Structure 1
Amino acid sequence: MKIDLRCIPCNINSLLRILDQNHAGEEERKQVVRDFLKGVVEMDWSDTPIDIGRKVGEALEPLFGDHDAFREIKKLSNKNLMEIYEDLKAELLTLDDPLIGALKLSVAGNIIDVAPGHKIDIHTTMSEALSKPFAIDHLKELAGRIRRADSLLIVGDNCGEAVLDKLLLDIAGVPNSYFSVRTKPALNDITMEEALEIGMNEVATILDSGADAPGAQEKTMKSDFFDVYSRADVVISKGQGNLEGLSSARREIFFLLMAKCEVIGGFLGVPKGSFVAYKKAELRG
């Protein structure tokens, strides 16, 4: 997936929200935006939207250094979902197909995203995901593949959402389960620190993917992660950012997400706000 011009104002708005939330001064704001725009002008337009997201991080780095601007938001998102984890698990186990239910909740969790700046109502979204049709629905095929799998990798996305990914891994019970995190803070995406806080290591081996921006890309993958990613029986990619980075990957991938913007909706051919469970076939030749 290549850069769309609409990604530029979206990232500028995301950048401004980060500066506002961290009480940056007017001159600091101007300098950060100036650095971001300079970086965008110098980009290769065949790059992915993730590469614009990386420019956001680079522009903020002189101001924030190693400070995680969304640390408290991430902790709260995880805490809120962990408080209802056992209740959700008990509810899933009453369904005719708990695995399909867990997959749907995992998709619903993708609503927890600070980048688009939309209103988040996770409880309503979870209810809708369980009851409404998906715009692209490869859930049954994915569930069947998971049941036969010896190894399963989830390429993680946001905090809060990751708790529902943990629930999916818990319900799936694949012998060799893996969950990947960002190598450094990027918006509200999950890192090793938050993954350990929610006990992801109880259901999966946590892997640092090497991603230094809000989306996984093969070009940034660490060698040990790439080995698992290449060999896993099933790979599930969560969220829009990972779709942007992995949509042209050669291997088969199941993408679970909500289409939260017109760019992603247009790429997938679905209305904005749609639930999506999309299988990208392996590229041959």
Structure 2
Amino acid sequence: MKVYLDCIPCFIRQALQAVRFCTDNVDEQERILRKILEKVLSMSWDITPPEMAHIIHGTIRERFGEDPYKIVKKQSNDVALSLVDWMRDFIGENGLDGAVRLAIAGNIIDFAVVDEVIIGESVKKLVNIKPVVYEIESLESSLRDGGSILYFADNAGEVVFDKVFIEYVRLNYQVKKISFVVKGGPIINDATVQDVEYIGLNGLEDVEILEISNGDDGTGPDRNSDEVKKWIKSHDIVISKGQANYEGLNELSGIFFMLVVKCKLVADDVGTKVGDVVLYHSK
């Protein structure tokens, strides 16, 4: 999925949000924002939204040398961890359907799209929304066949929901291995190895952690690289969480996309509306 004109103001909003997390100095905020605007004007727009995000947020990290979202990511993880007992009870009552709905609902924790998320309230509302696209029969059939899973994670906090989903899958299906993919460095509130370790997901049996690039050198292969395509081909089931992964992987077939639709452009591409809950199997 390529950048649309409507993506540009959204990226500028993201940039301002990140800069404000780093400094209260309005003059400094303006300087960095002007630098980002110059880069946006000079770069090619014939790229994917995640690729543009890499450039914009890399500029902010280069200036401040820190993760602007470090605090909100920890807060998201802590709030999500406080909901684990409720999650497990919900899955106990609803099985795979409950596990999938929870995993998708966790995708609401997305600071690339919103400035604030009331996690508990939002999630408990979303799990009761009837999905518009919901290919759970196809997912269940694949899980019954067993094998290996490649799981592209999205955000901090959300990974707690992913962990509970993975726990359910490991207990109820013959899954040999789960490769859990996170960013190799910080960008927005995307999950990293540090988040995975904080919530204990790396301690699950038969789970390995893989890293893809956040746009900085040495942080892993790009999501659209040949290496990542080899990962996809070498696993029996591929699950992709969230909008950014959808934007980067939607042209590939055989992927289960699980997300809350938060953008009209993505909604138009999937054939849904903003706010819809989706489990879509690309053909």
TM-score (norm 1): 0.89
- The answer on 1:246 being equivalent to 2:245 is no
Name the aligned partner's letter for residue 193 of structure 2: M
Give the aligned residue type for 2:140: A
Query: Measured at CA, do residues 272 and 211 of structure 1 come closer, stay the same or move farther in structure 2, by a change above 3 Å?
Result: same
Residue 224 of structure 2: SS of its match in structure 1? helix
Partner of 2:224 in structure 1? 219
CA contact (8 A) 1:33 1:59 kept: no
Cα offsets for 1:47-106 (capped at 9, x unmatched): 1111221122132133212x11111111111111112213321331232xx122111101
Cα distance in structure 2, aligned partners of 1:226 and 1:280: 15
Task: Using the TM superposition, give the Cα deviation of residue 244 of structure 1 relative to its aligned residue in structure 2, in angstroms.
Answer: 0.7
What is the 5 A alignment of 1:25-36? Answer: 25-36=25-36
Indicate which of 258, 268, 272 corresponds to 2:260.
258
- Structure 1 residues 1-285: aligned runs within 5 Å: 1-65=1-65, 67-95=66-94, 98-117=95-114, 119-173=116-170, 174-203=175-204, 204-212=207-215, 217-220=222-225, 223=227, 226-249=229-252, 251-281=253-283
RMSD of Structure 2 on Structure 1 (CA)? 2.0
Mean alpha-carbon deviation: is it higher for 101-110 or for 123-132? Answer: 123-132
SS in 2 for 1:94: helix
Q: Tell me the percent identity.
A: 29
Question: How many residue pairs align between the two structures?
Answer: 273
- Aligned residues of 1:108 and 1:122 also touching (Cα < 8 A): no
Q: CA deviation at 1:39?
A: 1.8
**Post-superposition shift, 1:24?**
4.2
- Seen in structure 2, the aligned counterparts of structure 1 residues 73 and 218 have a Cα distance that, compared at 3 Å, is closer
Q: Deviations along 1:30-53, whole A, 9 cap, x unmatched?
A: 221222122222322321111221
1:217, distance to aligned residue in structure 2 (A): 5.0
CA contact (8 A) 1:217 1:245 kept: no
Structure 1 residue 126: deviation in Å? 3.1
Gaps of 5+ in 2: none
Query: Which consecutive residues of structure 1, in runs of 5 or more, have no partner in the other structure?
Result: none
Conserved? CA contact 1:28–1:63, under 8 Å: no
Question: Structure 1 residues 130, 17: closer, same or farther in 2, change over 3 A?
Answer: closer
